Amino acid sequence: MADAKQAGARLIDVELDESIGRSTPDVEHERAVAIYDLIEENSFRPLGDAGDGPYRLRLSLADSRLVFAVDRENGEPVVTHILSLTPFRRIVKDYFLICESYYEAIKTASPSQIEAIDMGRRGLHNEGSQTLMNRLSGKIEIDFDTARRLFTLVCVLHWRG
């Protein structure tokens, strides 16, 4: 994907549609950080697109589905993909539970216990990232690091604070 990255196959903007809704200031901050991290470093190319990037991504929700609307830098539409959120529900729920355990463990647990919980947390995050890559397969080419950043954003979209 390095050649595609050099050719502009990347995101330069990520927007959350009003359908996502707004939340507490803490959640909004986490969303902003997730978007910043994604834009800072990513590899993103809609398959079948004859042009180069860079791209803008607008995320929205429609009927409990996540909508990926991809445009060119100038706003010209490229493609829209709709993903069911069902494959992510268990992973996101488990991820939130283990994150709660992690934050509680930081207060009282031993370093080895904290490390074990953190390994589980990272494992679930990797599983969610791989699921996202699989769901986008044949639609949008992303590398694993980009999938991790996108999965973080998917998680933050579920977090109500």
Which has the closest alpha carbon to 88: 135, 121, 46? 135
**Residue 20 scores a pLDDT above 90:** no
- Structure confidence at residue 116 (pLDDT): 94
- Structure confidence at residue 7 (pLDDT): 57
Which residues constitute the domain of residue 98?
2-158
Residue written as tokens 């995101």? 11
Produce one character per residue of 97-122: b if its CB has 16 or more CB atoms within 10 Å, e if not. Answer: ebbebbeebeeeeeeeebeebbeebe
- Structure confidence at residue 31 (pLDDT): 81
pTM for this prediction: 0.84
Domain count, the chain: 1
List, for residues 61-104, the tens digit of each pLDDT value: 888 889 999 999 999 999 999 999 899 989 989 988 988 898 89
Q: What is the mean pLDDT of the chain?
A: 87
